[in-house]
């Protein structure tokens, strides 16, 4: 359906390759539809025993979704943005429900929509080029694609920290948090993929053979600060806890939060606290679809895209520009159920 996704079967392995390198493999609707079609075709095919997801070129696994399209749609009727979210979230849910093992090669940038593809996979392979982040608070969006489910289930409050600050972490930290299951040097990735295709049943043995040492995780020395501060009851309380801690790391996180969309910070906080207690991934995706359909049309997302992606002045003017200006009533409106015929649903 699109040249931006290469889907084929090699031996007993279904292979999906993201193939939009000039856009860092940013997802669009057609790409998500193509991934869903391939996964559906192989789901009950006994000839396919494992799915392998990777990317072409060397510039990164997936930098997220097609943000420009979402912003342009948000300034109009939002139909195109809703259609994208609907199929992307179906793809996320299909990966979560998939009966066969899925292996993803996270060699490079893994952000936004790339996180939504990677985290449901059983085998998540990082390399020295891996950079993982959910940077949506910096553009007035929110950490979607299952972020409300995956992030609060990371150790301690690391998920809340990642969601609110948009922090970027490398391979060793990905292993520490369980974001990645394995670490392989990028120079050996092609050899590993060939070995998996040759004998997919031996994947766990192969991963042990190819395993390398990413070095010490930089995040380990800051986990106590993160867990204490980001457990606070609300974004304002998190900021206060960081100020009271006073360490250089805490102050750096505090100052980073002050640059983010106040609306998005409060949306993400509620999203993760709600997602943490949900028992079904599908319920989380329905929540995120409600958020997404509303947030893309709100001023902060349009302004965030202008500042970061269009004009690139990195000086967004948030509205409201203070946390106290984000009323609970606004959050209630953003999270409220949609009319029954407009709600998200998983694949039948």
pLDDT given at position 239: 98
The catalytically annotated residue of 14, 60, 113, 275 is 113
Residue 251 has what DSSP assignment?
H
What band does 66 get if pLDDT is binned at 50, 70 and 90? confident
Tokens of 205: 């043995």
pLDDT given at position 2: 81
pLDDT given at position 180: 98
Nearest to 64 by CA among 106, 10, 108, 24: 24
Task: Summarize the confidence of residues 291-320 as an average pLDDT.
Answer: 95
Average pLDDT in the chain: 97
Q: Which pTM does this prediction carry?
A: 0.96
* pLDDT tens digits for range 269-286: 999 999 999 999 999 999
pLDDT given at position 103: 98
pLDDT given at position 59: 79
148 is catalytic: no
Span of 44-53, 63-72, 198-207, 253-262 with lowest mean pLDDT: 63-72
236 is catalytic: no
Task: Summarize the confidence of residues 140-161 as an average pLDDT.
Answer: 98
pLDDT given at position 338: 98
Distance CA 159, CA 211 (A): 26
The catalytically annotated residue of 33, 66, 88, 136 is 136
pLDDT given at position 298: 95
CB-based contact 66:28 (threshold 8 Å): yes
% of the chain with per-residue pLDDT over 90: 95
Taking 90 as the threshold, does the pLDDT of residue 1 lie above it? Answer: no
The catalytically annotated residue of 14, 65, 166, 304 is 65
Distance CA 30, CA 11 (A): 26
Task: Summarize the confidence of residues 54-64 as an average pLDDT.
Answer: 91
pLDDT given at position 90: 98
138 is catalytic: no
Taking 80 as the threshold, does the pLDDT of residue 166 lie above it? Answer: yes
Taking 70 as the threshold, does the pLDDT of residue 335 lie above it? Answer: yes
The catalytically annotated residue of 80, 88, 107, 144 is 144
65 is catalytic: yes
CB-based contact 273:152 (threshold 8 Å): yes
Helix boundaries (H) for 44-168: 67-74, 79-97, 113-118, 147-150, 158-165
% of the chain with per-residue pLDDT over 70: 100
Tokens of 89: 């979230």
């Amino acid at each position: 359906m699109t040249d931006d996704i290469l889907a084929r079967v090699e031996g007993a392995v279904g292979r999906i390759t993201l193939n939009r390198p000039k856009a860092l493999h940013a997802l669009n609707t057609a790409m998500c539809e193509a991934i869903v079609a391939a996964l559906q075709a192989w789901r009950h095919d006994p000839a396919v025993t494992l799915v392998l997801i990777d990317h072409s070129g060397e510039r990164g696994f997936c930098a997220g979704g097609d943000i420009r399209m979402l912003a342009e749609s948000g300034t109009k009727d939002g139909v195109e943005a809703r259609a994208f979210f609907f199929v992307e979230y179906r793809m996320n849910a299909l990966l979560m429900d998939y009966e066969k093992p899925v292996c993803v090669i996270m060699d490079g940038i893994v952000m936004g929509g790339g996180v939504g593809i990677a985290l449901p996979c059983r085998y998540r392979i990082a390399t020295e080029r891996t950079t993982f982040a959910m940077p949506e608070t910096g553009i007035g969006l929110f950490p979607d694609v299952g972020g409300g489910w995956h992030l609060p289930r990371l150790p301690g409050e690391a998920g809340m920290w990642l969601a609110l600050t948009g922090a970027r972490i490398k391979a060793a930290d990905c292993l520490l948090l369980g974001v990645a299951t394995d670490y392989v040097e990028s120079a050996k990735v092609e050899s590993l993929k060939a070995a998996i295709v040759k004998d997919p049943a031996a994947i766990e043995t192969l991963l042990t053979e190819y395993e390398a040492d990413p070095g010490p995780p930089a995040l380990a020395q800051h986990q106590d600060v993160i867990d204490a501060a980001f457990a606070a009851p609300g974004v304002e309380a998190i900021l206060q806890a960081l100020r009271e801690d006073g360490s250089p790391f805490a102050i750096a996180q505090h100052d980073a939060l002050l640059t983010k969309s106040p609306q998005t910070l409060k949306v993400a906080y509620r999203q993760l606290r709600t997602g943490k207690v949900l028992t079904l991934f599908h319920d989380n995706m329905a929540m995120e679809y409600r958020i997404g359909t509303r947030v893309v049309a709100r001023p902060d997302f349009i302004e965030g895209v202008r500042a970061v992606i269009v004009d690139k002045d990195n000086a967004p003017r948030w509205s409201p520009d203070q946390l106290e200006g984000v009323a609970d009533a606004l959050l209630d409106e953003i999270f409220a159920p949609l009319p029954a015929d407009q709600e998200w649903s998983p694949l039948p």
